[in-house]
Each structure stands twice: as structure tokens, then as C-alpha cells.
Amino acid sequence: MRSNAPLPALVEPGRHVDAPSLSLGAGLDLRAMTSSAKRRCLAVVLAAGEGKRMRSERPKVLHELAGRTMLAHVLAAVGTAGADRLAIVVGPNQDEVVAEARRVAPTAEIFVQTAPLGTANAVLAAKPVLTEFDDILVAFADTPLVMPETFAKLRQALESHAIAVLGFEAADPAGYGRLIFENGVLAAIREDKDLGENERRISLCNAGLMAIAGAHGVALLEAIGKTNAQGEYYLSDVVGVARRRGIGVAVVSAPEEEVLGINDRRQLAAAESVLQARLKSRAMESGVTFLDPERVHLSYDTAFGRDVRIEPDVFFGPRVKVGDGAVIRAFSHLEGAEVGPGAIVGPFARLRPGAVLGEAVHIGNFVEVKAATLGTGVKANHLAYIGDATIGAGTNVGAGAITCNYDGFTKFRTEVGEGVFVGVNAALVAPVKIGAGAYIASGSVVTEDVAADALVVARARQVEKPFWAKAFRAKHRKV
Ligand code: UD1
Ligand code: MG
């Protein structure tokens, strides 16, 4: 981390590094699309804001959308747009933000903006690296829906201009900086609080993020003053400064929903719904049927094969993969799970992290699977818990069967071979192994390993006492 004085860089200056963030995106490498390919790009991600309006213990940029933090969304987008290096600007004492930045982008450099003096000041916190790159992309960590293509367009505009700003038509421009044109040329961006009366009507607004040629960056940013209504160093003033120096500024435009900035929980929910619509649209394009797309929640990384069918009210947490032709029935909850081709999950099923279902597995109502691999054709159709287990192909797990995997301190594994019949309400007390083809009688509490093809009955033998009940009732009637 660097504050005012540079601390040791995480990446040796000058050494080319393929930032791991490049693999964070959806496999789309936009370098190839533009001749920006040869120019080296630094993305500066501003995350030093306080985010008070979230009313949260958690820093604003760590709130999640579709299963990952806003910060991670932005880092992924700039990575996909071809950033060679990332600089993340945080506020003082933002340890959690730093930890998330390191987790998502271990080679990113982190800079501390010591006081929130404005967006231009925030970019300058990364000054030690600003001059090392041809293109500087400035992104806001609280503006998480910007597409990699849009960042790539901003970079592309640097082929002919020293600065490219991102504009959008706002339905309600109040609060945003406005793009002020003179004789058809962008002359300045004026912040909302500094607008003249006539300028308030302008609906073309500044999205905030921009691209600046590295050769001009530091000089332009350092020329920005703070004589404005808020006494802050505005990044948006870079336009006016450039204009005065005869440096051209390009305007790239984006749809408003893409540049939605998150300041409060209402905006967080609005962004979630934009993202959900995007994710479902992408899934449908790749051959997924949703009976009611609005009632399914996806994560940023939910991966589907073709001809997957999803019923309403299904929740996909992060790291779920669903194979071709699988059906996820209503009211199921999946996270960190793999569903094999042709499998049927639900209704009312729960797949927890580490659940790996093979081809044509059936998981029915009120069945929970965790850290367990189920081979081809395994069926667990009702009311079962399979945790820390391996279940061989073709095994049938009866209603109410449970792996007893935990003794209050340690987790143990259950291994069930192929073609086993696990009777209703069996309790498999781990660690335990059931050989292939074995039969477990209903209600058994299995504490020892079972040989292949054996029948195990591990329950009390049935005792019948003829007329005992009748006699018992008669005795009570006498009293
Ligand atoms: C900014 C733009 C405005 C634009 C709007 C779009 C400026 C001066 N204004 O205003 O023209 O219409 O975005 O949403 O750029 N940050 C820091 N350090 C600071 C201040 C901010 O890191 O000292 C970070 C914040 O964490 C945030 C981003 O910069 O990620 C934007 O800051 P914010 O205060 O939200 O700017 P706006 O007032 O929304
Ligand atoms: Mg903002």
C-alpha cells in the first residue's frame, strides 16, 4: 500500500505483468478489438469514498451485486477491457477494502488517499504509477455496471484525443455533473452544485469515469484547482483545463442504466435488478429456458449448458455450474454446486458448496447435498441429507436417509459404492463405507463398514406381544 510516500511496489515498476484481473472477466479480451493492443493501460479504481448513505458497517464498495462485491465487478470489467495494471485508491483505515482488493486482484497496487479531497485528488494518489502507462482509465468502484466494452471505447478514443469522458442522457440530471458544449465542442464539465440557472436544463451528464493519455495525465490533474462550491479537486475539471491548453476531449456515450452509481440501498437494489436482467438475457441467449426469468436469481458466474430449464423461485449463489439438459425445479437453492447433464434438482432442493451431481442424478424435495459427489443416475428423491460423501453411480438414497457426518467437532466422510440401496430413514454414521450393491435396511443406524452385496439390518428386531394393548387398556379402565 502506498500513502503519500511510495511504499515498496507490489509489482516492480516497469516490469510487465499480466494482471490476474484479466482472467476475471467472462473470457472476453477486448485488446484484440482495438489497436489499443500495443498501448499499455493502467486502470485507476477509486474506492476512497465513505459511502455514508448505505447506513452500513460494511464499506460501500464491498456490498454485493449478483454474488460479488461492487469492487470486484469493476476490477473484472477494467481487466477485461485490457488494463495491464490496476491501481486501487482507498481511504485511510479501509482494511476490509484492501483485503478484498488483494483477494480479487493480488498484483494490483493499492494507494491511500489520505483525505477525501475530491476525485482528481484521488486519482493523483496513484501518481507514482500514472506516468508509466500510455492509457489511464479512471473507474469508480461504486459504479459497478459499466461494461468492459464501454471502458474499451474510452481507451479507443485516446487514439485521437488526450482525454475521453463518458456521457449519458439522464432521465433526471439533478446531482450529476453536466457536459457543457460551446460551438459543438465540449468545453467543460460543471458539477451540479456549480451550475448556472440555464445549465441546469442540460440533460447530458458526466458518468464520472474517463480515460486520459498517460503523457498528459499528471500535468492536467495537477492543474486542477478547488475553487468551487464544494472546495474539492474535481476530476471533471480536467476537461476545462484541457480546453484552455488546446487539448481535445472526446465524448463517449453510454446508456444511463450502465452508469448507475450506488450511494444507497435503493440504488443497490436497482443495480441488482439491471444486473439480473443482463445475466438472464445472456443465459437465454446461450440456450436456457426460464419459466419466469424475473423470479430467478443468478450470480455473476452462474454457468449453464444448453437446454437447461429453470422453474420459478430458484436462487443461484456463486460458483454454480449446470450441465446440458438439466432441470432445476421451483424453490431450489444452489451455491458452489455442479449439476450434471440431464440431472433433475428440486422442487425444494438445496445444493450447498461442494455438491457435485453426475449425469442424470435426481435430487428431490427437501434434500440437502453438501461436499458430496454423486455418481451417474444417483437418486435421492425425498427428505435426505448427504454431506461429506461419495455416492456411487446408480445408488438409491431412500426418504429420510441421513449421513451423520459431524460429531460436534470433526467432519467425517461417508463412502457409498455403486448400485447401493439405502433404505428409508437409514442413518449412515461416518466415517463409514458401504460396498457396491449392498442393501441397507430401512431405519438402520449403520456404524460399521458394510461389505459389497450384503444386506445390513442395524435396528432392533421387531417384538410383538399379542393382546398386550387390549390388556393394558382394560387395566386402566378398572382404575
Ligand atoms: C462524480 C462526478 C460527476 C458525475 C458523477 C456521476 C466529480 C467531481 N464528479 O460525482 O461529474 O456526474 O460522479 O456519478 O468527479 N472518491 C474518492 N475520493 C474522493 C472523492 C471520491 O476516492 O475524494 C471516489 C468515490 O469513492 C467514488 C468516486 O470517487 O467511487 C466518485 O465520487 P462521488 O463522491 O460519488 O462523486 P459524485 O459526487 O457522484
Ligand atoms: Mg457518486
Tens-binned pLDDT, residue by residue, of the chain (479 aa): 554 333 322 222 222 222 232 333 344 455 545 555 689 999 999 999 878 999 999 999 999 999 999 999 999 999 999 999 999 999 999 999 999 999 999 999 999 999 999 999 999 999 999 999 999 999 999 999 999 999 999 999 999 999 999 999 999 999 999 999 999 999 999 999 999 999 999 999 999 999 999 999 999 999 999 999 999 999 999 999 999 999 999 999 999 999 999 999 999 999 999 999 999 999 999 999 999 999 999 999 999 999 999 999 999 999 999 999 999 999 999 999 999 999 999 999 999 999 999 999 999 999 999 999 999 999 999 999 999 999 999 999 999 999 999 999 999 999 999 999 999 999 999 999 999 999 999 999 999 999 999 999 999 999 999 999 999 999 998 65
Q: Is 216 a catalytic residue?
A: no
CATH number reported for the structural domain that contains residue 410 in this entry = 2.160.10.10
| 234 lies in the same domain as 154 | yes
Q: Measured between alpha carbons, how far is 421 from 417 in angstroms, rounded to an integer?
A: 10
**What residue has cell string 386402566?**
476
Q: Measured between alpha carbons, how far is 249 from 25 in angstroms, rounded to an integer?
A: 29
**What residue has cell string 438439466?**
326
Q: Kindly give the distance from the C-alpha atom of residue 420 to the centroid of ligand 2, in angstroms, as a whole number.
A: 59
Q: From the alpha carbon of 60, which atom of ligand 1 is closest? A: 26
Q: Measuring CA to CA, which residue among 451, 385, 399, 461 is closest to residue 420?
A: 451
Q: Are the CB atoms for 430 and 404 separated by under 8 Å?
A: yes
Query: Residue 137 phi/psi, 5° resolution?
Result: -105, 125
| 326 lies in the same domain as 244 | no
Number of domains in the chain: 2
- CB of residue 173 inside a 6 A radius of ligand 1: no
112 occurs within a structural domain: yes
Q: Kindly give the distance from the C-alpha atom of residue 315 to the centroid of ligand 2, in angstroms, as a whole number.
A: 30
Q: Measuring CA to CA, which residue among 332, 300, 333 is closest to residue 318?
A: 300
Q: Measured between alpha carbons, how far is 229 from 251 in angstroms, rounded to an integer?
A: 25
Express each pLDDT in 341-366 by its tens digit. 999 999 999 999 999 999 999 999 99
| 246 lies in the same domain as 98 | yes
3-state class (DSSP) for residue 79 = helix
What is this structure's pTM?
0.89
Domain containing 65: what range?
15-259
- CB of residue 117 inside a 6 A radius of ligand 1: yes
Query: Best substitution site from 123, 137, 140 to test ligand 1's pocket, by max atoms within 8 Å of Cβ?
Result: 140
DSSP string spanning 392-454? -TT-EE-TT-EEE-B-SS-B--EEE-TT-EE-TT-EEESSEEE-TT-EE-TT-EE-S-B-TT-
Q: Measured between alpha carbons, how far is 234 from 228 in angstroms, rounded to an integer?
A: 9
| 312 lies in the same domain as 250 | no
Q: Measured between alpha carbons, how far is 239 from 219 in angstroms, rounded to an integer?
A: 13
Q: Measured between alpha carbons, how far is 332 from 439 in angstroms, rounded to an integer?
A: 30
420 occurs within a structural domain: yes
Q: Kindly give the distance from the C-alpha atom of residue 398 to the centroid of ligand 2, in angstroms, as a whole number.
A: 55
| 225 lies in the same domain as 285 | no
CATH number reported for the structural domain that contains residue 92 in this entry = 3.90.550.10
Give residues with Cβ within 8 angstroms of 199, minimum separation 6: 178, 180, 190
| 227 lies in the same domain as 341 | no
Query: Residue 422 phi/psi, 5° resolution?
Result: -95, 110
| 104 lies in the same domain as 148 | yes
